[in-house]
Structure formats: structure tokens, C-alpha cells
Amino acid sequence: MEQSKRLAYSILVSRVFLFLFISALVLAHPCSVMGSEVKEKTLSLGDCIEIALNNATSAKKAKSNLKLQGSDVLRSYGNFLPKISVSATYTPSSLSQSYVQYYLDAPPLKIKSESGTVNLSLTTSLNLFNGFSDYASLQSALDKEQAAGYTLSRALQTIVYDVTQYYYQVLMNRDLLNIARENLLSIKDQLTLTDRQFQIGLKSRTDLYQQQAAAAESGLSVIQAETKMQRSRLELLRRLQIDPSTRITLDSNPKELIRVLSSKPDIDSLVTIALEGRSDLKSKKLETRAAKWQITQSRSAWYPHLALNANASTAGTDFLRQSYGGSSIEYSYPPVSDQLRNSIGYSVGLSLSWSIFDGFQTSYNVQSAKVNHLNQKFDYDDLKNNIVIDIQQATNDYASALMQIETSKVSLTASSSAFEDIKRKYELGATGFVELSTARTSLFNARSNLSQATYNLALQKSVLDYATGTIPIP
């Protein structure tokens, strides 16, 4: 019975190894299994940022909005210029018929008139006063255009920040995968040694089974690390917006990892920098001011509107022929060009309009503009408070990341020494598998923690730069 259990256990362990091996092959070479050609690229952080800035739809939308706001400013300037319109009408043939009674005792005569005419007209109108609507509209458009520029700047910073986060995430997961693989190799070497010792009677069958289980568990950790690394790589590809089937290799020693601060930064100075330099805060402030100008624009309907109008027109008749009572008369006119030149007429006038009652529509528009301005002000104040909180949190997280680095280094040194001592004792039979497994787990965790702490420090530096709005845009 005992022998059957051992045989079943050995078969189970062998199947686990086979499953892990096949899964590793599929994860390591997914595209080769599918039989498709794979594109490969080697990218640094700068390359990733440049690709993302060129492909990101958020940046393209922000640029389009900035262009639209520029057109709105031009339109607002145009409101101060006179409006000019030209009209021309050419009627080559016109026929009209009517009845005219010249005498009371005579029947009415039917008159038939045929003519050809040309009419030209030039009209212009200049707004003199419309309740400051044009001025308020211009100021609002200027503020919105400047705000759109700051929004674009913040959108670019967000792209840089997002790509940087996932770039470091891929590197960290890759390091954790390498650590897991090295741990698996170490356990396999130990399994080989234990198997030999079992063959010569230095180790029990239980020790051999425990080593096999540890190797299987370590192989599972490798697959989990591989899956996590692939997931982060796909998330990076999502932000680069390139072909998802592209295989990318990242810079193994990015210089950006050493661009960290050696001590906890001063919160007050960072808050000052952020409140003065954050593009989104500047944008929101300008949008709030633009909303205030819209209140003035809405109030303009309560004031009278005064405009200066001018008109110049001329007309000419090509021919005129009238028929009545069986006789026909054709009138003779000078050439049409002479008529157009000599028949020019002008008119200049002022027009005043004042809406006395519009069903409270203007009152509603004013209240709507006031509410919009108040909401924009609330958003500005909320954003300002959130910036201060984000900086405080980012600063504390950065200080914590610094301490984690030092703690992880001490832990790794101690775990390495402890593992080497226990490993030698285990090989000599002076200690058991539990102590060896515990020491190996501690070493594996220490190496993983140091790698995570290293990249976490770089990530927190990026968070700090994003919170203060000092992320450089290439």
C-alpha cells in the first residue's frame, strides 16, 4: 500500500513537471506556437515615450481642441469688424400681364410687359454697441485658447507618466521572473544532489519527495511571474498603440533608475512648485475666468443694440417692351453698363433695437452662466486641494521607498548568509528540509523585495514629478 502511494505521488510530480514545461514553452514563445511572424523591437524609455506621444489619441484630441479654440478667437475678433455682403441679380427675361382701365365707359385693356434687368447691391453693417457681448466673447475665447494649450501640455505629461509607469513595471516583472528562474535552477540542482544522496542512502525518500514538491512549486512561481510580465508588456503595448503582436525588448540598464533623490523632499516647496506650475490647474483657472466672461455675454441681451448700416445699389434695364390693344411699344435705354455706372445710390443709417421682454430667456441664460462659473470655481478649488494631498502622499511614499531600499539590502545580505550556512548543514545531514526550505524562501523573498524596492523608488519619483507637474516633455 505504501509503495502504491509513493508510485502515485511520483506520477503526479512528473505530470506537474510536464505541465510546467509545456506552459513555459507556450508563454515564452506564444507567436511561434501560432505559426505567425513576430516583429521585434528594442526600446528605451525615451523611445517608448516618443512612440506614445506620436500615437496617443488623447494628445491628438487635445491638439485638435487647441486648434478649434484658435478658430474661436479669430471668430471673436471678427465680431468687431463690419459685416459685408454683396448681391447681384440678372433677369434676362421677365413677363408680366395686367389689366388697366383708362376710361369708365371703356373696357379695361390688357397690358403685357416684357423686360430684362440687372441689379447690384453692396450692404455693410458695423456693430457699435451690443451690451459688451463682443468684448466678453473675445476675452472668453482668449482664456479658453490659453486653457486649451495648458490642457494639451498636461495631456502630454500624463502620457509620459503613464508610459514611464508601465515601462518600469515591465522591467520589474522581468527581474522578478529572472529571480524566480534562478530560484528554480537552484532547487533543481538541490533536487539532483538529493536524488544522488538518496541513491546512496544519505537522504530519505521523504527528503526526495519534499525536494520534488519544492521544485514543482518553484516552477509554478516561474509561470506566474511569466504571466505577470507578459500582462505588463501588453499594457505597455496598449499605451504605445502599436501592433499587439510586436515583441519588445526593453533597455536592461535604464539611466532613469539612478535619477532619484537621496532624501525625503520638502513638502512645502513641492506644493509651491505644483501650485505655480501645474498645467491643469492653470487651465482650470482660465476656464473659470472664461466662464465669468460668459456671464457678461449673457447679460448683453438686457442692453440696447446699436448698429451702423450702409448700402450702395445700382440697377439697369436691358429692354422693356409693352403690348396692349393690339399695339406694341419698345422703350429705348442706354447700354446696361452706362446705367449701372450712372444709377448708383447710397444710404447710411443707424439702427437701434432693444428687447423689452423675451419671456425671461435672458434671465435664464444669465443664471445658467452664473451656475457654470460657480461649478468651474468649485472644480478649481477641488483640484487645488487634491494637488496638495497628492503631493503629501507622493512625498511620504517616496520616503517609504527610500527606507525600503535600505531594509531590503540588509535583508538580502542576512538571508544570503543564512541560506549558505543552512544549505551546507543540509548537505551534511545536520539539518532538515524545513530549515532549508525556510531559508531558501527567505532568500527568494529578499531578492524579490530588493528588486521591487529599486523599481518602486523610480516609480515613486515619477509619481512625484507628475504630482508637481515637472515631468519633462520631449
Q: How far apart are CA 58 and CA 66, in angstroms?
A: 12
Range with the lowest mean pLDDT among 84-98, 227-241, 245-259, 447-461?
A: 245-259
pTM beyond cutoff 0.85:
no
**Bridge partner residues of 330 (DSSP):** 321
- Write down the pLDDT at residue 375: 97
In which band, very low, low, confident or very high, does the pLDDT at 27 lie, cut at 50, 70 and 90? very low
H/E stretch holding 121: strand 109-129
DSSP E strand stretches across 227-344: 247-250, 305-324, 327-331
- Helix (H) or strand (E) segment spanning residue 372: helix 361-427
Q: What is the per-residue pLDDT across 251-278, written as a single tens digit (0 to 9) for each?
A: 766 565 655 555 678 899 999 999 999 9
Residue 441's pLDDT band (cuts 50, 70, 90): confident
3-state secondary structure of 401: helix
Q: Are 28 and 235 in contact (CB under 8 A)?
A: no
Residues forming a β-bridge with 331 = 320
**What number of H helices and E strands is found in the chain?**
11, 7
Confidence at residue 194, expressed as pLDDT on a 0 to 100 scale: 75
What's the confidence (pLDDT) of residue 8? 42
pLDDT at position 472 is: 87
Closest to 373 (Cα-Cα) out of 276, 286, 302, 301 = 286
Give the pLDDT band (50/70/90) at residue 379.
very high
458 and 168 Cβ atoms separated by less than 8 Å: yes
Question: Exposure pattern of 205-240 as b/e (b: 16+ CB <10 Å)?
Answer: eebbbbbbbbbbebbbbbbebbebbbebbeebbebb
- Quote the pLDDT of residue 9: 45
pLDDT on residue 143: 95
- Rounded mean pLDDT of 278-290? 96
Q: Whole-angstrom Cα distance, residue 298 to residue 318?
A: 51
Sequence-distant (≥ 6) Cβ neighbours of residue 226 within 8 angstroms? 24, 27, 28, 177
Rounded to a whole number of angstroms, the CA Rg of the chain reads 42
The Cα-based distances of 118 to 113, 115, 167, 342, 464 in angstroms read: 16, 10, 73, 13, 74
Q: Is the pLDDT at 4 greater than 60, yes or no?
A: no
CB of 467 closer than 8 Å to CB of 391:
yes
d(CA 369, CA 292): 8
Cα–Cα dist 214/217, whole Å: 5
**Predicted confidence (pLDDT) per residue in 272-282, tens digit:** 999 999 999 99
Least confident window among 201-205, 313-317, 439-443: 201-205
Q: What CATH number is given for 39-81+132-304+358-468 in this structure?
A: 1.20.1600.10
CA angle 211/212/217 to nearest 5° reads 95
